[in-house]
């Protein structure tokens, strides 16, 4: 990190959402600026901007209808009006926060497709929990990808936590069982299990997730307490189908949306949460461990829409 980069939480969020903000908000300001009326042609352009940012059809339609209603009543003609309507719809899209059941150890499974950032997320979460004073054990349950165990071992060393692993090709459920027993033996607070990336179309691999969940429940009451679906923000609207399939294999309790800094389509985080009725637990806005941020709907919307007034 350079000395000029923001070091605070909201600053990191602002930086990570800058590409989406530039493509979406700055363009809306140009269209609705100058006090010119919002005719049908401009509304179509605003609709294309919102869909292009992956805000989703339902949010986009709600915003456009609100703009039309406001314009008919003599309002919603300025960029500020439009962005305020957008802010309202975005904030209304997130489901109410759920109470997370606690266990000891508290068992968290990370699931998702290949390349979504599960292993990196596991490492970053381990470090976060350690900094909060929690005792953590990592389970390297991705036994298919050759470099997965080595990658997780690096993160375990950085965080100063123990990692449980077996040889390549071992039964992932057995790794989770070993991890749970190690966590209990060491009186750990949290067991974080990094599972293998799997395409939602591979039925055998999806059934394997169900097995992992069942064996966890046999070892620790109520486990897994959290199943976090890690999704690359670049996945776009295809993520809805993907998430539904994962949820059918093993009920998902929350989302982790990664790589928001690498896309101009950051609205997908809102669309996913709205359509799936699942809370977003964390968002990734960069490579550093500190760039995995606990999700706050208001902070996210503020970061997404914050852009200097044109001067």
Domain segments of the chain: what residues? 9-92, 106-252
pTM listed for this prediction: 0.90
pLDDT at 296 over 90: yes
Q: Please tell me the predicted confidence (pLDDT) of residue 1.
A: 39
Q: Maximum Cα–Cα distance for the chain, whole Å?
A: 68
What is the mean predicted confidence (pLDDT) over 194-206?
A: 83
| Burial classification of residue 176, based on how many CB atoms lie within 10 Å of its CB (0-12 exposed, 13-18 middle, 19 or more buried) | buried
pLDDT at 104 over 60: yes
Q: Please tell me the predicted confidence (pLDDT) of residue 198.
A: 83
For residue 167, what is the enclosing H or E element? none
> Looking at 74-78, 287-291, 292-296, which range is the least confident one?
74-78
- For the chain, what's the residue count? 311
pLDDT at 3 over 50: no
Q: How confident is the model at residue 71 (pLDDT cuts 50, 70, 90)?
A: low
Q: How confident is the model at residue 208 (pLDDT cuts 50, 70, 90)?
A: very high
Better-scored residue on pLDDT, 307 or 270: 270
Residue 182 near residue 219 (C-beta atoms within 8 A): no
Closest CA to 291 of 53, 22, 11: 11
Decide if 9-92 and 106-252 have a common fold.
no
pLDDT digits (tens, 9 = 90+) for 174-199: 999 999 999 999 999 999 999 998 87
CATH architecture of 106-252: 3-Layer(aba) Sandwich (3.40)
CATH architecture of 9-92: Up-down Bundle (1.20)
Q: How confident is the model at residue 209 (pLDDT cuts 50, 70, 90)?
A: very high
Q: Please tell me the predicted confidence (pLDDT) of residue 265.
A: 85
Dihedral sign of CA atoms 142, 120, 127, 292 in order: negative
């Amino acid at each position: 990190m350079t000395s000029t980069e923001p070091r605070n939480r909201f600053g990191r969020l602002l930086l990570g959402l800058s590409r989406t903000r530039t493509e979406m908000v700055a363009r809306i300001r140009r269209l609705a600026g100058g006090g010119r009326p919002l005719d049908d042609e401009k509304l179509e352009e605003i609709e294309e901007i919102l869909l292009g940012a992956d805000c989703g059809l339902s949010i986009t339609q709600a915003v456009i209808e609100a703009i039309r209603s406001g314009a008919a009543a003599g309002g919603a003609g300025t960029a500020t009006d439009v962005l305020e309507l957008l802010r309202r719809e975005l904030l209304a899209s997130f489901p109410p926060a759920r109470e997370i059941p606690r266990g000891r150890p508290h068992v968290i499974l990370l699931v998702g497709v290949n390349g979504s950032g599960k292993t990196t997320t596991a490492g970053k979460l381990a470090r976060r929990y350690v900094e909060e004073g929690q005792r953590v054990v990592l389970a390297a349950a991705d036994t298919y990808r050759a470099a997965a165990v080595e990658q997780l071992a690096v993160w375990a060393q950085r965080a100063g936590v123990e990692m449980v692993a077996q040889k390549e090709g071992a039964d992932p459920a057995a790794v989770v069982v070993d991890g749970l027993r190690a966590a209990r033996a060491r009186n750990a607070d949290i067991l974080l299990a990094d599972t293998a990336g799997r395409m939602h179309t591979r039925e055998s691999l999806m059934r394997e997730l169900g097995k992992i969940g069942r064996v966890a429940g046999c070892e620790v009451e109520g486990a897994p307490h959290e199943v976090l679906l890690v999704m690359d923000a670049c996945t776009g609207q295809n993520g809805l189908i993907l998430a539904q399939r994962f949820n059918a294999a093993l009920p998902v309790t929350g989302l982790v949306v990664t790589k928001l800094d690498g896309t101009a389509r950051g609205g997908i985080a809102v669309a996913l949460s709205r359509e799936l009725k699942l809370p977003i637990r964390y968002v990734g806005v960069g490579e550093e461990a500190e760039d995995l941020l606990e999700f706050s709907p208001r902070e996210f919307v503020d970061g997404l829409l914050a852009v200097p007034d044109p001067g």
